[in-house]
Structure 1
Amino acid sequence: MNQADAIRTSGLTKTFGDLAAVNGLDLEVRVGEIFGFLGPNGAGKSTTIRMLLDQIRATSGTAQVLGLDIRDGSLEIRRRIGYLPGDLALYPKLTGRQTLTYFARLRGGVSPAYVDELAERLGADLTRKVGEYSTGNRQKIGLIQAFMHKPELLVLDEPNAGLDPLVQQTFHEMLREVRDDGRTVFLSSHTLSEVERVADRVGIIRHGRLVVVERVDELKRTAVRRLDFEFAAPVPTDLFAQVEQVHDADIDGVHARVSYDGSVNPVLQAAMTHEVVNLSSRDADLEEIFLTYYRDTTTPEVAASTGADHVR
């Protein structure tokens, strides 16, 4: 394993009966980066995380976390990581303070002052019982317990759930501080705007298979882009039909919305055969990029998986 890898998998596969929830996953997450792991419910994100943490056993393939085999080194891995599960469950009769004290004693090496600092930054009320918390306030406790021992690797499964925008901003600052400290974040999410703001690289998982791993800025650079034209008079609906770079052209009278990749010149040349009175452009954001990998209809197998708690 490369010393610069915090997570490395080779052919990692998990099947449930005839369903391959994760299929031949080859993944490298580098030390000191924020890696976004993207996919909707049913894509295999949580199943991957549970295999990495030895909560469930892989059907085949291998994986290492922090240089340790996920089975032989599972106890040491858990000592060195911070983990927020997607289905966080806490003791409802304990207060937030009691909950964090309990986890801190189990783990050891936790500074009470740092716990207080995290609680203040996130606006967490530690005096109330967990059973009285809203979803967002429970999530704050989950984040504090994941961060409080300053782990080498943070594994966060849908961490944004229930957080208001101001708390999200603070959370993103905390992620960047972890990266700046040379530590690593593995961030599983379907909240694409969250990943776009903080991730260095993203991997998109589709039907249990990793379909792309790329830097966020590079994904945007190569993504489908948009041009909106306004013409002086109505134009033919097939105006861009012969332009190879054009993926889609929606033409309605004097207005045309064109999606394309590669060079813009052929698109402009076709448009300039008519009088253009207005033109605007925009790059695709990460959500649009993501949707290009999910444009086809979901397979019956994956659709069935979204109803199963253990396949997410």
Structure 2
Amino acid sequence: MTTERFNEHRDLLTGVAYRILGSAADAEDVVQETWLRWSEVDSAEIGNAKAYLVRMTTNLAIDRLRKVKSRRETYVGPWLPEPIITAPDVAERAEVADSVELALLVVLETLSPLERAVFVLREAFGFSHAEIAEMIGRGEPAVRQLARRARDHVRERRPRFDVDRARRRQVTERFIGACTGGDLDGLMKMLAGEVTLVGDGGGKARAPLRVLDGSRNVAAFLTAIATEDGIIRFLQSIGAPLTTDIGMEITDVNGAPGVVLSADGRVITVISLVISGGLIETVYLIANPDKIDHLPGPPASGVT
């Protein structure tokens, strides 16, 4: 019974932990710790298992986030959330897809751990202020203030998507074609003038150590790494064997169309695009093997 009650809520707990931490690996560790603590209590005496488990997971995630934030300050180059391959039906549930968008998770990194937890519980999972207050051990007025501050902060900084999913996929397809074809001019026409590219190699893979700005700089970098020579240099940078079995495909990354580059079935780069007004405003490129080595090839189930 203890195991069954826990497994009934495992997906929810994983979803909460991932959104708070921005790391699937850390989220799994938190959920495992929640299970260990749950197995030590008499679950028959717990009236509301869901609330109890979410409270435990949330507080473990907050504690872990406070610890990892200091490590992220010394990270080599920009730090981006760990991407997840999501199931196609996630994209059809707008509220779920929106809450795992990489662009949103990047903004959530600028919140305090408590603000982030409150935002996730309220906006992504619909818990009431009273329920959240009990979960994090704060008064309801304080929770309302945290929620309002976090919501305002996210609203001011979150990118605005004004294209539907089908259009985003079309732009992504054209993006791949221009990059792999070395079409610098064609790619520049797809990029907003003030486009930025944020690369996360973690010092372990080839990626810009600083944010790239401007359509020409971004286009030049992308077309360079998408050529055969560029891919070979990238494989060398991560110590991977050279291969001709290179794949690049569009799949669901964090609830939206994304680009997954693989070599011999191993994911080596994940790209997510922020598109507005038909133009690409931001390119997120994640190449740190610690964040993507474990990713399965699509299709796959993801965090819900």
- Does the pair score TM above 0.5? no
Higher strand content, 1 or 2: 1
TM-score normalised according to structure 2 size = 0.25
Higher helix content, 1 or 2: 2
TM-score normalised according to structure 1 size = 0.24
